[in-house]
Amino acid sequence: MLTLLFTTPKKMIDSNFKVACSSCNLRELCMPVGLEISDMKKLDEVVATRKQVKQGQLLFGNGDPFTSLYAIRTGFFKTCVSNEDGREQVTGFQMAGEIIGLDGIVTDHHSCNAVALEDAEVCIMPFANVEELSREFPVLQRHVHKIMSREIVRENGMMMMLGNMRAEERLAAFLLNLVQRLHARGFSQSEMILRMTREEIGSYLGLKLETISRTFSKLSEDGIIEVKQRYVKILSPEELRKIYNPQPCQTSV
């Protein structure tokens, strides 16, 4: 098969090649901004190696010992938790420049699965390095704290979605967030190819896949988006934002 022919040779995967953050074009996403060149070079030590993860493979799984954070260089991941009786909850979708693995710090073991939704490459940042350099560089320390705080705030927002919002609002918020993050990475601000199935979107948003499908159809019929399988185009961002933030009904004084 074609894919086999183009597979990276085994020895390349999980290689020991050094990656220089200082010359990485995702620098401003992963690393603190406003660093001196000299400091930046020293921070290159955060990253030990890179690792490739094929579509469908686990970067880390529930119960794995925690050793490192991972900065996504290319590709797309989902993280999910599952409980005793096998129910799964997707807790996030992550793309280039985002950091995963923070869940492992508290118990020294990961409590979720990180699965590549497309062939991906990550920078391995041994957490011991992160902590050591954080002590030396206050700007890195602050950066790490912000990344963790951002994740806490994001999850607060998810609780609001899951606890209070209707299916259409959740999907609108999801699409707006996704396209905004893609746009920040140089992609279109209106078009995208989804990397996940309806079922995965549903799991993330606390809905069933049929509801996702129906809600896509509804938004499409209303002329707000165009959907063709994984391809989504936002025709009216304002309408989508209105669905997400419905104005409170005007009541008479």
- Partners of 79 in beta bridges: 92, 114
**Residues 196, 197, 199, 201, CA torsion sign:** positive
**Least Å from the CB of residue 5 to DNA:** 13
Under 8 Å CB-to-CB from 158, ≥6 apart: which residues? 91
Check residue 250 for interaction with a copy of itself (CB under 8 A). Answer: no
**Least Å from the CB of residue 145 to DNA:** 35
- Candidate list 58, 105, 158, 227; residue touching DNA; CB under 7 A: 227
DSSP 49-100: EEEEE-TT-EEE-TTPBP-EEEEEEESEEEEEEE-TT--EEEEEEEETT-EE
Taking every pair of Cα atoms in the chain, the longest distance, rounded to a whole number of angstroms, is: 72
Strands across the sheet containing 76-82: 58-60, 113-116, 76-82, 88-95
Candidate segments 42-50, 141-149, 184-192, 211-219, binder of a copy of itself by CB under 8 A: 141-149
Which x/- pattern over 183-222 shows residues binding a copy of itself (rule: CB under 8 A)? --------------------xxxx----------------
Which x/- pattern over 176-205 shows residues binding DNA (rule: CB under 7 A)? ------------------x--xxx--x---
Candidate segments 18-26, 81-89, 115-123, 215-223, binder of a copy of itself by CB under 8 A: 81-89
Q: Quick one: CA torsion of 45, 49, 54, 55, rounded to 10 degrees?
A: -10
Which of residues 18 and 150 has its CB atom nearest to a copy of itself in the complex? 150
Provide the H-helix boundaries in 12-103: 27-30, 37-43
**Least Å from the CB of residue 65 to a copy of itself:** 14
Check residue 34 for interaction with a copy of itself (CB under 8 A). Answer: no
Check residue 251 for interaction with a copy of itself (CB under 8 A). Answer: no
Instruction: Using CB under 7 A, list all residues that contact DNA.
Output: 1, 166-168, 194, 197-199, 202, 206-214, 216-217, 227-230
